[in-house]
Amino acid sequence: MKIAPILRPAPRPSPDSIADCLIKLKETWQKDSHLIDLLADWENIAGPQIAHHCQPIGFKNQKLIVGAKESDWLQALIWNRKRLLQSLRKRGFEVRDLQIKRYHSENNRSNQISTNLLVRECNPHRGDIHGISNCPVCHCSASTGEMARWGHCSLCQRNKFENMT
């Protein structure tokens, strides 16, 4: 009878020294400094209009990830992709490609909600034959039908659904 060899895992590599870990950390910081330099010069690279509505949100494997706050500016980024790449390379950034995506910052989200509230308050069709009351959540005017159905206004109901996803 033949004895089967015992399979053993390969020996683990020895742990890195603290000096090696610090060197790796320094290299990572230097890679991230490209994004910091890019953010500092973004308005000159993209132009004032695009820079106001779009921003770099990541830099990985020579791919710059740029976020747009609204779909119109997302489209503008797509149309200006070649010009942006040329501008980046001209300024010495080693960018192979651009990844463009929709980006929501918390600040942008709160501005959008306050704008929606203002538009809603100014809407002439907010009058209701059944009466108007105030929403207990956001304190804006709401129809009594909305209040009876949900216990708050339709804007708060929409925000509730958005937060569920």
CATH code at position 70: 3.30.300.180
Contacts of 5 (CB under 8 A, 6+ apart): none
**Both 136 and 97 in a single domain?**
no
pLDDT, tens digit, 9 for 90 and up, residues 126-138? 444 557 778 888 8
pTM exceeds cut of 0.75:
no
Does 151 share its domain with 92?
no
Classify residue 12: in a domain, yes or no.
no
Q: Assign residue 145 a region: left if phi > 0, alpha if psi is -120 to 50, beta otherwise?
A: alpha
How many domains does one find in the chain? 2
| 125 is a domain residue | no
For residue 116, the model assigns a pLDDT of: 54
Domain boundary among 102, 119, 146: 102
> How many of the other CB atoms lie within 10 Å of CB of 154?
15
Classify residue 14: in a domain, yes or no. no
Q: In which domain, by residue range, is 52 found?
A: 21-102
Distance separating alpha carbons of residues 35 and 59, to the nearest angstrom = 6
Do 39 and 87 share a domain, yes or no? yes
Task: Give residue-wise pLDDT tens across range 28-74.
Answer: 766 556 677 788 888 898 888 888 888 888 888 888 889 888 888 88
Residue 28: CB atoms within 10 Å: 10
Any domain includes 15:
no
